[in-house]
Amino acid sequence: RKEVEQDPGPFNVPEGATVAFNCTYSNSASQSFFWYRQDCRKEPKLLMSVYSSGNEDGRFTAQLNRASQYISLLIRDSKLSDSATYLCVVNRVSSGGSYIPTFGRGTSLIVHP
């Protein structure tokens, strides 16, 4: 079982729609959680960090449920420019005590007119 699991999609939604992505992680000792965005043939870039209390950045809302080991990303009022792959990232603690950012396979979002 992979450490970070995501539904690869694709999620195909019309402009203006609300879409939600989920991610589960297996290591309960994980520290720090993030969503990254990756455009086709480009490098990943940080979208937002995920805090235990939940956090919002404009049209984007991220939530963390430590008990269920579950992270979510909600995008409201989808734009064509939101089309990308969304990567869930969990900092696991290695046996040597290092924090290793561990990526899910990503969820593909396609927003159409």
Partner 1 sequence: GAGVSQSPRYKVAKRGQDVALRCDPISGHVSLFWYQQALGQGPEFLTYFQNEAQLDKSGLPSDRFFAERPEGSVSTLKIQRTQQEDSAVYLCASSLEGNPSGELFFGEGSRLTVL
User: What residues line the site for partner 1 (CB under 8 A)?
Assistant: 4, 6, 8, 31-32, 34, 36, 42-46, 49, 87, 91, 94-106
Q: Which of 86, 76, 78 is nearest to 35 (CA)?
A: 86
Residue (of 55, 75, 63) closest to 9 by Cα position: 75
Q: How far apart are CA 45 and CA 30, in angstroms?
A: 21
Q: Residue 75 or residue 87: which is nearer to partner 1 going by CB?
A: 87
CB nearer to partner 1: pick between 10 and 16:
10
Q: What is the nearest approach in angstroms of partner 1 to the Cβ of residue 69?
A: 18
Distance CA 37, CA 46 (A): 6
Residue 44 beta carbon to partner 1: minimum distance, rounded to whole angstroms = 5
Q: In the complex with partner 1, which residue's Cβ is closer, 16 or 70? A: 70
